[in-house]
Chain A
Amino acid sequence: MTEASKSIRDELLKPDSGSVRRSRIDWIMRRVFEASAFLTVLPLFVVIMFVFVRALPWLNPAFFFNNPLDPEPGIFNAIIGSIQMSGLAMLITAPIGIAGGVYLSEFASSRVVSIGETLIDILLGVPSIVAGIFAYLLLVPVLGFSAWAGSLALAVLTLPIVMRTTQEVMRLVPVSIREASLALGIPVWRTTLLVTLRTAFPGVLTGLVLALSRALGETAPLIFTAKGTNALNFLEFGTTMNAMPLVIYRYAGAAEDQLVGQAWATALVLMAVALAMNVAVRWRTIDSRVA
């Protein structure tokens, strides 16, 4: 055995005095990371359990299908109101947000893109109470305390989400796909809409669902605009409308046990809806990736 190969053997096989200490540190670090992950997820589970336990006694058909002023009160008008206002907000936000995201990804010069991204970031960071005050000062004088104002306030909050996700998923579409379409003699705008956007669509859908999730849960903008009401409001956007976050806000500090209980139950419903939407989006994304 030569000197050279002997020293290589030594380097590989010689017992290392530091190795035991190293593997102990390794074990400790692993436990630290695991504990951190656990601590991060723990509050989520605590909240879910808490809400679940408090809400359960108050979940019954009357809760879902009756209105607040009925003999057996429920939150039906809030459920319908949330759906209507969030739905209208999405109808406003989706086309504008998607178009904006497409523009930033495909057509804007790099200067416009960086300005646009900064603006979107600012909008994303706006606290919802600020959006609420903004709506109160600007929209309510024009639209009154109404579901129109409420939906618009929600639209302002959700627009940057849709724009940002659309821009990012469009960017992820490989250049080769666009080139394949252009090389067939398909004009740029058709390529963008029918090929690039189509390819990015699952991601765009995710952005829409995230935006809808946010719209359903926002309270502050609605406090100052749609205000909430005990009456059932179906498609009357010109006047006040109830919503699930408003129910939680109003009932949480109430004196009567039933109202507090219904606040918990509404919270559970909101969480369940958000969870369902997120799961549905993940399933769809996994499906299309596998295909």
Chain B
Amino acid sequence: MIRVDGGQGTVPGRVAQGAEGGKHREQSAPEASAGTVELRGVEAFYGTFRAVNNVSMDIHPRSVTALIGPSGCGKSTLLRSINRMHETLLGASVKGSIHLDGVDLYSSDLDPVRVRRVIGMVFQKPNPFPTMSIYENVAAGMRLLGRTPKSELDGVVETSLRRAALWDEVKDKLKQPGTSLSGGQQQRLCIARAVAVQPRVLLMDEPCSALDPVATLKIEELIRELAADYTIIIVTHNMQQASRVSNHTAFFAMDDSRAGYLVETGLTTEIFTAPKLPLTERYIAGRFG
């Protein structure tokens, strides 16, 4: 069962392990199902406008699921509904159910803040905190929530930066502002910041679309590594990226009411070589979108 306690109670020992190289798995083997996201009948609204229509699917743990489809199909809206960011917009709402390992994320006695501790997010345009240094950015999630002793913070920062494949490039300049890095580095900084609070699920909303091809490849490699420890859901416009990076793919399209709906899901290899529905095939073949 996943611990929905904001990740505050995790064992310091796990952090110390990471500091030695960053690629170690946790000692305690988590359950195979830990990190399963179930969507049933999910609809998302901006006021009265329905942007996402009746989406039901399972997201598998320890893998990368790509949400693909033309612009405006509600993929990002759906993504933001999973970590309850959608409702932070004025007038926005979500119907249906989203469960993480059996816990109803929208239940009235669950604080959305805790949901967001367990489900992290990386945005399309890198958004490091401008007033903070690289170190402070990575530590922000821990610091802004309470008094974590500095010794522990140092370990978390290093582990997270290693996890994001950024440590070697910034270890000598941790005090520099986060915004002094290049675009690709900033995005990796945001990934480090997100994993520092030890989420179980990582949502990535077109994380490479603002980056150059070299940075993009680095981040794709990083995503494949991270999939060993997290459930990753990535929205992408780039079909080739989806086929490079993901294990499962979900294809969305727009219906007549301009709401996005789920057309087909499956293993990435199957979707891209033998899709079941003609609409999917037309999209994969580049005939629209």
Residues of A within 8 A of B (CB): 174, 176-177, 179-187, 190-191, 194-195, 198-199, 201, 291
Q: Which stretch in B9-17, B19-27, B114-122, B150-158 binds the other chain?
A: B114-122
Q: A190 to B131, alpha carbons, bound, how many Å?
A: 15
Q: Which of A179, A185, A201 contacts B123 (CB 8 A)?
A: A179
**Min CB–CB distance B142 → chain A (angstroms):** 9
B275 at the interface (CB under 8 A from A): no
Q: Which stretch in B35-43, B69-77, B189-197 binds the other chain?
A: B189-197
Produce 1/0 per residue, B83-125, CB < 8 A to A: 1010010000000000000000000000001111110110101
B277 at the interface (CB under 8 A from A): no
Q: A190 to B142, alpha carbons, bound, how many Å?
A: 12
B46 at the interface (CB under 8 A from A): no
21 contacts between A and B (CB under 8 A): A176-B125, A179-B85, A179-B123, A181-B129, A181-B144, A182-B88, A183-B83, A183-B120, A184-B197, A185-B113, A185-B114, A185-B116, A185-B117, A185-B141, A185-B145, A186-B113, A186-B141, A191-B144, A195-B129, A199-B131, A201-B131
B131 contacts A181, C-beta separation under 8 Å: no
**Min CB–CB distance B180 → chain A (angstroms):** 8
Q: A199 to B116, alpha carbons, bound, how many Å?
A: 22
Produce 1/0 per residue, B51-90, CB < 8 A to A: 0000000000000000000000000000000010100100
B47 at the interface (CB under 8 A from A): no
B30 at the interface (CB under 8 A from A): no
Q: Which of A182, A186, A198 contacts B131 (CB 8 A)?
A: A198
Known contacts A179-B85, A185-B6, A198-B131; A291/B144 CB under 8 A:
no
**Min CB–CB distance B13 → chain A (angstroms):** 22
B116: chain A residues within 8 A (beta carbon): 182-185
- In B117-139, which residues have CB < 8 Å from any A CB? 117-118, 120-121, 123, 125, 127-131
B125: chain A residues within 8 A (beta carbon): 176
B177 at the interface (CB under 8 A from A): yes
The main secondary structure of chain A at its interface with chain B is helix
A182: chain B residues within 8 A (beta carbon): 85, 88, 116
B140 at the interface (CB under 8 A from A): yes
A180: chain B residues within 8 A (beta carbon): 123, 127-129, 190, 193
Q: A190 to B129, alpha carbons, bound, how many Å?
A: 14
A191: chain B residues within 8 A (beta carbon): 144
Residues of B within 8 A of A (CB): 6-7, 83, 85, 88, 113-118, 120-121, 123, 125, 127-131, 140-141, 144-145, 177, 190, 193-194, 197
9 cross-chain pairs, A with B, having the tightest CB-CB distances, nearest first: A185-B117, A183-B121, A185-B116, A184-B141, A176-B127, A180-B127, A186-B144, A187-B113, A194-B144
Q: A180 to B125, alpha carbons, bound, how many Å?
A: 11
Q: Which of A177, A179, A186, A291 contacts B145 (CB 8 A)?
A: A186
B129: chain A residues within 8 A (beta carbon): 177, 180-181, 195, 199
Q: A179 to B130, alpha carbons, bound, how many Å?
A: 13
Instruction: For A202, give the chain B residue with the smallest CB separation.
Output: B131
A179: chain B residues within 8 A (beta carbon): 85, 88, 123, 127
A183 contacts B194, C-beta separation under 8 Å: yes
Q: A185 to B118, alpha carbons, bound, how many Å?
A: 8
**Min CB–CB distance B231 → chain A (angstroms):** 16
Q: A60 to B216, alpha carbons, bound, how many Å?
A: 67
Having A183-B116, A184-B140, one finds 11 other A-B pairs with CB under 8 Å, namely: A177-B130, A180-B127, A181-B140, A183-B121, A184-B120, A184-B193, A185-B7, A185-B145, A186-B144, A190-B144, A191-B144
Instruction: For A173, give the chain B residue with the smallest CB separation.
Output: B130
Q: A194 to B127, alpha carbons, bound, how many Å?
A: 16
B123: chain A residues within 8 A (beta carbon): 176, 179-180, 183
Known contacts A184-B197, A186-B145; A199/B130 CB under 8 A:
yes
A291: chain B residues within 8 A (beta carbon): 177
Q: A180 to B131, alpha carbons, bound, how many Å?
A: 13
Q: A180 to B190, alpha carbons, bound, how many Å?
A: 9
Q: A187 to B111, alpha carbons, bound, how many Å?
A: 10
Instruction: For B196, give the chain A residue with the smallest CB separation.
Output: A184
Known contacts A177-B127, A194-B144, A199-B129; A185/B197 CB under 8 A:
yes
A201: chain B residues within 8 A (beta carbon): 131
Q: A198 to B190, alpha carbons, bound, how many Å?
A: 19
Interface centre among A177, A180, A187, A191 (most CB of B within 10 A): A180
B177: chain A residues within 8 A (beta carbon): 291
Known contacts A176-B127, A190-B144; A184/B114 CB under 8 A:
no
Interface centre among A185, A187, A198, A199 (most CB of B within 10 A): A185
A181: chain B residues within 8 A (beta carbon): 129, 140, 144
B115: chain A residues within 8 A (beta carbon): 185
Known contacts A177-B129, A184-B116; A195/B144 CB under 8 A:
yes
B140: chain A residues within 8 A (beta carbon): 181, 184, 186, 195
A184: chain B residues within 8 A (beta carbon): 116-117, 120, 140-141, 144, 193-194, 197
Instruction: For A186, give the chain B residue with the smallest CB separation.
Output: B144
Instruction: For A288, give the chain B residue with the smallest CB separation.
Output: B131
Instruction: For A109, give the chain B residue with the smallest CB separation.
Output: B90
Instruction: For B203, give the chain A residue with the smallest CB separation.
Output: A183
Q: A273 to B201, alpha carbons, bound, how many Å?
A: 55
